[in-house]
Amino acid sequence: MKNLIYGILCMLALGTVSCFKDNTTLGAKNVGDIEIGKLSDATVVLFVGNHLKVTPEVKHGYSEEEMDYAWYLLGEKELGDHNYHSGKRIADTKALDLTVDNHEWNLAPGRYTLVFEAQASNAYTQTATMTLTASTEFSEGFYILKETADGNTELDLMTAEKYFPDLMSAKIGNALPGKPLNLAVVYDNGRINENDELEATNMVHVFAERDYHAFRTQDMLEIFNRENLMFDPLPEDEILYGMTSGCFDNICLSNKGYYEFPFGASSGKLGLPTIEGDMQGMQALVAGGEPHGDVIFWNEQTQSLYSVKEKFDPEDCPLPAGFEHADLEYLASGFSKNTSTETAWFLCQDKNSGKRLLFQVKAELMLWGAYVMSAELSVLPVCVIDTDKHLAKSRIMSGVGLGKIGIYVVDEGKIYLYDLESGEEILVPLEGIEGEITYISNNYLNLKDMMGEEMEGAFNYLLVGTRDGEGYRLHIFDELVSGVPNKKTPKEVKKGKNGVVKHIRYCSNLINSDQWDEPFGSTTVYPYGD
């Protein structure tokens, strides 16, 4: 309910000027004698020398000597006061020329409101607002985990305007040793800063077979590695599989166990595992609503699914009666949602027979608009995949995140959609894909579930990565209807260097502790894991 109320207040604050307190009085002239033209929203990159320039169109019946102008910069906290004078007064001119790297304004990556005030000598005042989105070159875009030709791990970043290849080599001097395992963007990730203070920031975590590093997305400052993620260095034989947010905690899985640590201002360090064992395939259901849901993962040692509720002890998910534990290899997992159903699925393969088994945990949602009032979770019968299915053969797959309960499957160079509800497969008829497919995923930023209305910057893409000589191509398909692109050809194709795509995560500067209170861990806002 807190999310819903907060979203309504923010929408009111952003959508109307009248919500601001204005204690001015009218002079003798007519109310409409100051008119301000519509201000367009703007995006700026926080870089030395960059400026934001805005020249409002103002019509009035006064001389310019009778007019005063001002600009106010408001964050979310100031918007909550409903008084734009509580913001920072950043200019006293009609035209705005904002130096975005000015430390006096303390402009951090995120979303702001600019209020332009025009006031006559008789105190009559009119205002207009615009939204300002501030980012750094590293705080917004697609982070791409890739495998190099010599079998090591590198990281690229593709923003709307630039391409940054081989960030590991640029930041620490070399690619990470071993094949890539996973990539995670964790919002509101705690750390101890240079002043020995607890703070929270957005981070990108890079996992390789024999190494691990985490960087602040604001400026790619290295925050964690194998030496400092725990209070003692990680044991040499511990392999980190992945990290994310869920159930109002940050979560890490490794071959040693399941770790929880609070998001927000904290040390961000791992203590002792909550559960010991080899934990893989992290997913979540209804993590962003009431009840706060379950984090679900595969325990390799017990050959079973585990479920962890918010602040509750972990427990085995009850598997269907008659199912006998086998010698299973975990292959993949994913998340899917349609209007009123969420499903976490886990695909395993019997090491002896070669048969593939599909485990599913389903949540039936009771909704009030987009808000989850309650959810009923159940474990579905184990499904043995028919050997003639593409899902029985493929090693490249990903969940259909939004709009369809299903799995994307790549087999013999073609893309199929496996319907988890019917067990049927259909060909996804795409054109314009060049090269051998090495990666597929449904990447999305669903700001409607975060704020109650769709906002600029939201997207729902099918991403297809292919080999391109020694590099790769990233094909971006949009306009998804039940998981299938409405247009057969890609919206955009981007080229990358020196490697093959293994994982992709989008980082948004709109999601951080200064801007929004509780979007973290919602599988319907951004992908949780794969």
CATH (domain of 413): 2.130.10.10
Q: What is the pLDDT of residue 110?
A: 78
Residue at 106 is within a domain: yes
DSSP label at residue 84: G
Task: Indicate if 307 and 389 belong to the same structural domain.
Answer: yes
pLDDT at 322: 52
Q: Which domain holds residue 40?
A: 2-135
Sign of CA dihedral 518, 522, 524, 527: positive
Domain count, the chain: 2
Pair (66, 24) in one structural domain: yes
Same domain, residue pair 130 and 148: no
Check whether residue 25 and residue 161 sit in a common domain: no
**Residues 189 and 271 reside in one and the same domain:** yes
Euclidean distance between CA atoms 443 and 478, whole angstroms: 10
**Mean pLDDT of successive 10-residue stretches along the chain, which has 530 residues:** 41 39 40 84 76 92 93 78 83 90 68 92 92 86 96 95 93 95 90 87 94 92 95 94 77 91 84 88 67 75 78 51 72 90 92 92 79 78 93 95 94 96 95 95 80 71 96 96 95 96 90 51 63
pLDDT of amino acid 17: 38
Residues 267 and 129 in one domain: no
Residue 521 counted as domain residue: no
83 located within any domain: yes
| Last residue in a domain, options 75, 101, 135 | 135
What local confidence, expressed as pLDDT, does residue 435 receive? 94
User: Is 379 a member of any domain?
Assistant: yes
Q: What is the pLDDT of residue 32?
A: 54
In a domain, 529, yes or no: no
32: tokens are 């409409």
Q: Which residues are within 8 A (CB) of 397 and not within 5 positions of it... i.e. 6 or more apart? A: 332, 334, 347, 391, 407, 408, 409, 410, 440
Domain co-membership, 485 together with 389: yes
Give Cα 432 distance to the centre of its chain: 27
Distance CA 169, CA 70 (A): 46
Task: Pick the last residue of a domain from 97, 117, 135.
Answer: 135
67 with 46, same domain? Answer: yes
State whether 120 and 156 are in the same domain.
no
Domain end (from 109, 135, 161)? 135
The answer as to whether 517 is a domain residue is no
Taking alpha carbons only, the member of 522, 250, 245, 243 closest to residue 401 is 522
CATH number for position 12: 2.60.40.10
Q: State the amino acid at position 222 in one-letter form.
A: E
On whether both 18 and 114 belong to a single domain, the answer is: yes
pTM: 0.79
